[in-house]
Amino acid sequence: MVTAGTYGKEMIFRSRKRLAYLCGLLLNQAYQHGWQFEAWAVFPNHYHWIGKSPEKSDGVTSLRKMTRALHQKSALWVNRLDETPERKVWHNFWDSRLTFEISYYTRLKYVMENAVRHGLVTAAAEYPWCSAGWFVKNSSPAFRKTLDSFKIDLVKVPDEF
């Protein structure tokens, strides 16, 4: 699981156009670097995602390369848009290797429900810059029921944005 935030928690990706760009770039970079995403959520000042690292990779190096490319490309794009070429856009990222099944399912639900947690929508599938809508359309009713049984209120994720 990966979480990243903008510098100073600034709402840099504050418009639909910016969120669409960042979300598209995140998915594109994941694909280009061989990551298989299972959940993602993009916001004006942070993002979360859960994915499987490429088969022939140590994971750490691949994650650094992907994150560096994502942050560099998105910063160049948004700074060009705002005419602020020297502005620092990204602060840091945090990653956790999910090795326990309960932890995995809890965080999977957490990422997909994050827009609800932040008060942006009442149903996660309504938020266009996350995987919840895709999940509702493409997962089995049994898997959705299983995931719904997990509680996310005690999940410890850097998410004070």
Residue 157 lies in a domain: no
Residue 153 lies in a domain: no
158 band by pLDDT with thresholds 50, 70 and 90 = low
Report the candidate in 152, 75, 69, 77 with the shortest Cα–Cα distance to residue 115: 152
CATH code of the domain covering residue 45: 3.30.70.1290
Residue 123 lies in a domain: yes
Residue 160 lies in a domain: no
Residue 154 lies in a domain: no
Q: How far is CA 84 from the centre of its chain?
A: 25
| Residue with the two structure tokens 């848009």 | 81
pLDDT digits (tens, 9 = 90+) for 50-93: 999 887 766 667 889 999 999 999 999 999 999 999 999 999 88
pLDDT digits (tens, 9 = 90+) for 91-110: 988 777 777 788 888 989 99
Residue 161 lies in a domain: no
Residue 158 lies in a domain: no
Number of domains in the chain: 1
Given a cut of 60, whether residue 18 has pLDDT beyond it is: yes
Domain range spanning residue 30? 2-148
8 A C-beta contact, residue 112 and residue 124: yes
Residue 96 lies in a domain: yes
